Structure 1
Amino acid sequence: MEKVFKYSNKSIIFSIILVLISLIISISIGAAEISIDEIIGILLREFLGYHSNAEINNINKIIVLEWRLPRFCLGFLVGASLAIAGCGFQGVFKNPLADPFLLGSAAGAGLGVTLVIVNDLNYSFGIINSVQLGAFIGA
């Protein structure tokens, strides 16, 4: 008999709070030191229209909105995509231990990249280059 997992509202709210905390911490890390108060002020002003009393530097606003926030969003999406791919592997093979290294797709991708690099086949096709294509074909 299969177990059906039901997530409670508490776990969903906890996950959202954890993502928001990691968002603030991720945006605060970088070469330019930006205070957490300023980050929260920038995000509230841009996305909710709330004007806080915190003084916001225009350069810090550009750093947060054009560099650090997209970096966080991309990292979040890549992590979510890898989680979905892992669930797909485990679901298709009905094996909770299934991963790309166990099944050989990581080794195949490495072989494809190695063949492209050794044979000096470094070409670009729009935004896809031959190394990425070799990894995809090898996997």
Structure 2
Amino acid sequence: MGRILAIDFGTKRTGLAVTDELQLIASGLTTVDTKDLITFLKNYISNEQVDLFVVGLPKQMDNTTSESEIYIGAFLKKLNQALPGIPVERVDERFTSKMAFQSMIDSGLKKKQRRNKALIDEISATLILQSYLASKS
């Protein structure tokens, strides 16, 4: 069984998280400059088996998709062209950035560490993946 890789897409940075090989535990992987994302994913997949991509679906409070979905849609087309054999599922990502920031506070990170937006993106990807795993169990 391969891993599930979650993507919290951003126009500048993208947070990534993966499961273990049994697809039970979600862990933060890294944050990548979005311009390097496809290359990073190709390299990662050359070393690890990935069964599924889980990509955040940004929604507004009224349940309509947010403006950033335009950028995510373009990325998904590129992803499908670069790695066509791996399916993509979408997960509502509302509040993940706020939850990520709160988890940083709860874990006792200092103010300077909480300003690290790359860490927030990685934690957000982990929350997206945890949400996906919870919905499947």
| Larger of the two Rg values belongs to structure | 1
TM-score, structure 2 as length reference:
0.24
TM-score (norm 1): 0.24
Greater relative contact order, per chain length (Cα 8 Å cut-off, separation 6+) = 2
